[in-house]
A and B are shown apart, each in its own frame.
Chain A
Amino acid sequence: MTAPKTLYDKIWDAHLAHEAEDGTCLLYIDRHLVHEVTSPQAFEGLRMAGRTVHAPDKTIAVPDHNVPTTLDRVNGISNPESRIQVEALDKNAKDFGINYYPVDDVRQGIVHIVGPEQGWTLPGMTVVCGDSHTATHGAFGALAHGIGTSEVEHVLATQTLIQKKSKNMKVEITGKLRPGVTAKDITLAVIGETGTAGGTGYVIEYCGEAIRDLSMEGRMTVCNMAIEGGARAGLIAPDEKTFEYVKGRPHAPKGAQWEAALAWWKTLYTDEGAHFDKVLTIRGEDIAPVVTWGTSPEDVLPISGTVPAPEDFTGGKVEAAKRSLEYMGLTPGMPLTDIKIDTVFIGSCTNGRIEDLRAAAAILKGKKIKDGMRAMVVPGSGLVRAQAEEEGLAQIFIDAGFEWRLAGCSMCLAMNPDQLQPGERCAATSNRNFEGRQGRGGRTHLLSPAMAAAAAITGHLTDVREVM
C-alpha cells in the first residue's frame, strides 16, 4: 500500500519528468499562459539562442495588462510603449505559432479568466504564467504557479520548470457563510490570519464545507489570492461542480477522451490521513464582510471595525502601519464606514467574472451611485461582457451611473490609462492595495463586488448587509 497523498502530492507526482540526485526536479508543464508584459524578453532570449517553442499547442497568449478598456480601442493603442508591447506579442504569437486571442477577438480578456473560460485549464494539470495570479487556476485542482520571465523562457524552450517541492498547507473553512459574505471575504480573511508571508514555501489546499459550497467563480476568487498570502499556489479538489463547469468548453476533452479524463480527475483528492505541514481552520460563520485599511493585503478588518493604531501591532509592523496610515490618510479609531470613497472599480482576475457582476448588479439594481462618484465595471473577458449584456446586467450598471468597459486588467494595476490620481480613494475588487498600485499616490481599499457596489451608492465604505 502506498502512503496517503495530498492532492498536491498527486499532481506533483504525475508531472515529474526528471529528478536529480540533489532533489532538483523538472516538472512537466501542461499549459503555459502568456501575456504581453512578462514575455517579450523571453521570446527575445529564444531568438538570440536560436531556440523554438517546444510545445506551441500547449501555449496560449492574450494581451491584457496594457490594453485600453475604452470603446475607442479599435482605433489602436495611443500609448506608444503599450502599443509596442502588444505588437510584440502579436508578432511572437505568430512567429512561434502559439494559440492567440488578439485585442479585437471577443474571447480576449484577462489571461486568468480566458484560460478557464476556453477550457484550457483542466483538473490535475500543471499551469504556469508569467504572472503571480496564476494561482487562480488552482480552483480546478490544477497546480498553477506564477513564474518570472527567465522561467517563461525556460518553459517555452523545454515545457518544463525547475522546481523544488513545496510544503503542504491545509486551509479549512468549515460550516456555512453568513448572508452578504462572499469568496472574496474568505480569501481576505485567510490572509488576515496568515499574513502576507504565512504561506511562503507552501502550496495551500482550501477545503471544508464553505469552500465546497462556492461556485467555480468563487473558488477562483479564493485561489487567486493564495499568492497574497505568500503561497506558491492554491488548490481546491475538483468535484461535480468542476466537471460541470469544464464540460463542453472549446478546449475541454470530448467523447471517449472526456470519459478517460473524468475517471482520472475523480482520483484527484487528498487521501484520508495524508500529512499537512501546517493547518489553519476558520469557521465560516465567523467571517464577516471585510475591507482592507492599509497598503498590504493582510491589513484586513471586518467592515464593522475601526482604523487601527500603529501601537496595536508589534515588530516591524509598527513602522509599516505608521507608513500605511500616513499614505492612506487615515486616523486611528475612525470607523471604517466613515471612510469616503471617490472611485469604485469592479473587475480584475479576482472579481471580474460573471458571478461577480451579478452580485454587484443585484445591489445596484434601481439605484444610483453617489453624486460625483467615478465608477467603472471592467469585465474580465469579452465573453463575460457579452453575457452580462445579455442578462441585462450591463444596463443596470449603466443606469446606476457606472462606466461599462471592454475587457482587460485596467485599474487593477493601472498600466493602461485607467489610473487613480494622487490622494484619490478607491474601493476595488482587485487583489493588491500596495502604494501606487492603482496610480501614483492612489489609495486602495480591497473588498468584494457587492461591497464595492454598496460603497458606490453611499459614497463611503459600507456594510453590504445594510443595503441588501
Chain B
Amino acid sequence: MDKFEKLTGVAAPLPLINVDTDMLIPKQFLKTIKRTGLGVNLFDEMRYDDDRNEIPDFVLNKPAYRNAEILVSGDNFGCGSSREHAPWALLDFGIRCVIATSFADIFYNNCFKNGILPIALPQEQVDILMKDAEKGENARMTVDLDAQTITTSDGEVFTFDVDPFRRHCLMNGLDDIGLTLEKAAAIESFEATMQTQRPWV
C-alpha cells in the first residue's frame, strides 16, 4: 500500500448524495481477478454513452478534472455493496482522497485499506470545498494527513478527524495483516479458551 502523507492536487466536484458502489463501478467490471485496471471504468455509466463515447458533461471527462486526485461529494458516499472494486477503481483513476459529508461504513473502511483517505466534514465546510473544486484545475487543494488539515486554493484551512490507528497505518503504508499476525499469541490463546467454552463452533 502506498503511503499517504500530504497531497496537493485538483479536486473534482460531484455534488450528489448517495453515490453508491454500483455508480462507482458497475458490476460488469467486477469479473476481474486483479486489483488494477479498473480506473477506466470508474463511474462508467455516468462517464460513457451507449456507444462507449465519453459524455463531455461528466465531471471527470472535463479537461480540468481528468487528473483529479481529490473528489468532493455529498451525503452517504459509497453506500451499497462491500465491493472493494470501488476504492480500487478510484485509486486506479488516481483519486487518493474523498471528501464528503458522510460515508457508508464498509466503503469508508475499504478506503483506508487501499491508501485512500476518506474525510467526513460538516455540510457548510463541504459546501465551501465544493465551490473551491468547481474552480477547475488551477485551484489546487492540499490535504495534509499529518496535520489533519485541508487547505483550499484560497488558503482557507479546515481541520478533520481521523482514527489515530488508521492514520498511523496510512501514513506508513502498513499492512494490517502483518500487524495482526504480531498478535498471533493472543489469537491462539483465545482459540484455546474457545475450544473449552464453545467447542461446537
Cβ-based interface call for B2 (8 A): no
Complex contact A154–B16 (CB within 8 A): no
The interface stretch among B64-72, B74-82, B136-144, B149-157 is B74-82
Complex contact A147–B105 (CB within 8 A): no
Min CB gap A361→B, angstroms: 29
Q: In the assembly, what is the distance between CA of A399 and CA of B93, in Å? A: 50
Residue of A nearest to B79 (CB): A196
Complex contact B74–A316 (CB within 8 A): yes
The one of B20, B27, B164 in contact with A413, judged by C-beta atoms closer than 8 angstroms, is: B27
Q: In the assembly, what is the distance between CA of A339 and CA of B189, in Å? A: 59
Which residues on A sit within 8 Å (CB–CB) of B30? 37, 65, 415
Given contacts A200-B105, A230-B76, A260-B199, contact A38 B31 (CB under 8 A): no
Given contacts A17-B190, A261-B200, A436-B26, contact A162 B16 (CB under 8 A): no
Complex contact B187–A17 (CB within 8 A): yes
Complex contact B18–A320 (CB within 8 A): yes
Complex contact B181–A158 (CB within 8 A): yes
Complex contact B165–A22 (CB within 8 A): yes
Cβ-based interface call for A351 (8 A): no
Residue of B nearest to A232 (CB): B105
Complex contact B22–A437 (CB within 8 A): yes
Q: Which of A93-152 contact B (CB under 8 A)?
A: 122, 124-125, 130-132, 134, 146-151
Q: In the assembly, what is the distance between CA of A130 and CA of B106, in Å? A: 10
Complex contact A149–B84 (CB within 8 A): yes
Min CB gap B82→A, angstroms: 4
Complex contact A154–B176 (CB within 8 A): yes
Min CB gap A152→B, angstroms: 8
Q: Which of B44-95 contact A (CB under 8 A)?
A: 45, 50, 74-76, 79-84, 87
Which residues on A sit within 8 Å (CB–CB) of B102? 197, 200
Q: Which of A412-459 contact B (CB under 8 A)?
A: 413-415, 422, 432, 434-437, 440
Chain B interface category by residue count: 35 or more
Q: DSSP majority for the B interface?
A: loop
Which residues on A sit within 8 Å (CB–CB) of B191? 28, 159
Complex contact A257–B200 (CB within 8 A): yes
The one of A26, A147, A157, A257 in contact with B82, judged by C-beta atoms closer than 8 angstroms, is: A147
Cβ-based interface call for B121 (8 A): no
Which residues on B sit within 8 Å (CB–CB) of A201? 105
Interface size on A, residues (CB 8 A): 74
Given contacts A122-B200, A260-B199, contact A148 B82 (CB under 8 A): yes
The one of B23, B186, B201 in contact with A30, judged by C-beta atoms closer than 8 angstroms, is: B201
Complex contact B187–A132 (CB within 8 A): no
Complex contact A257–B199 (CB within 8 A): yes
Cβ-based interface call for A13 (8 A): no
Cβ-based interface call for A51 (8 A): yes
Min CB gap B128→A, angstroms: 16
Min CB gap A142→B, angstroms: 11
- 29 pairs, CB–CB < 8 Å, chain A vs chain B: A17-B183, A37-B31, A38-B83, A44-B33, A58-B201, A65-B30, A66-B31, A84-B31, A85-B31, A88-B33, A124-B198, A131-B82, A146-B106, A148-B113, A149-B83, A150-B114, A153-B177, A158-B184, A196-B18, A197-B79, A200-B102, A257-B200, A315-B17, A316-B16, A320-B18, A323-B16, A435-B23, A436-B22, A436-B26
Binding site for A on B (CB under 8 A): 15-18, 20, 22-23, 26-28, 30-35, 45, 50, 74-76, 79-84, 87, 102-106, 109-110, 113-114, 163-165, 176-177, 180-181, 183-184, 186-187, 190-191, 194, 198-201
